[in-house]
Structure 1
Amino acid sequence: MNTADPQRVITIARSWLGTPYHDQASLRGVGCDCLGLGRGVWREAVGPEPFPIPSYSRDWGETGPREVLAEGARRMMIEVLPAEIGPGALLLFRMKPRAIAKHVGILTGPGTFLHAYERLGVVEEPLTPSWRRRIAFAFLFPQH
């Protein structure tokens, strides 16, 4: 499976900057959550979403052993080791130690990433050591 052009993925992701935060939404300029951002970038970079996303609560994944986001991403994306990430990669973060990965971002440069964050909406910010150590999984978008 060939990968999508990372620069194109970043350009698409940046077109979502300023989109307000809204749970379970995925509409550029209108509202999205972190997963909705990843889904929106997928639709433009790759094509139609390959399967529907079931509705989820704000506290989904607080308990339980399954890495739901990683399992879904593995079905349609190219997994890479977090140590080998480059710009354009989709990142899955653990928000608490030993919790499942449930936050999504897109690496935009060696030290920056873009994500949808509650109260802030879609923002691009530094991939600080605190964020970097939370990366649990990384994936590349496949070619269209």
Structure 2
Amino acid sequence: MHARSIFISLAGFGLLGAGLAACMQLSPPVSGQALYEENCAVCHGPGGRGDGPAAGAYSQPLPDLTTLAARNDGTFPMRQVMSKIDGYTRGARVGEEGMPEMGALLEGDVVRFDSGDGILTPTPVKLIALAEYLETIQR
């Protein structure tokens, strides 16, 4: 009888776990490349070299995103890139020329992420995906 009650208890836990998993809504994987193409390529170009169709609207040349690591002694500056995308280090005021707000990247799922400083920080999944994509296009 004792073994039967353990089996029933374990079966109950299994059903509970399956029920909880079914209730959790998992978001589909986020494509950093798709986010780049939707939000960045118009200015930075399809290859990230600052030559997109809207680049001419800026008085200064746009940065070549494929050389971020090269300009940082060969190390991709993940934290700085993420801060630039989310606007934390930008400081531009409304009406000033500069990178547009990327607020849509801040919406949705958030995970704890270490951007290279050893600190797990709540970070939007889309922001991570975009920054990681930019890391893949480094020359």
TM-score grouping bracket, smaller chain normalisation: under 0.3
Look at both structures and tell me which one has the larger radius of gyration over its CA atoms.
Answer: 2
Q: Report the structure, 1 or 2, having the larger strand content.
A: 1
Q: Report the structure, 1 or 2, having the larger helix content.
A: 2
TM-score of the superposed pair, with normalisation by structure 2? 0.27
TM-score of the superposed pair, with normalisation by structure 1? 0.26
Where relative contact order (Cα < 8 A, 6+ residues apart) is larger, the structure is 1
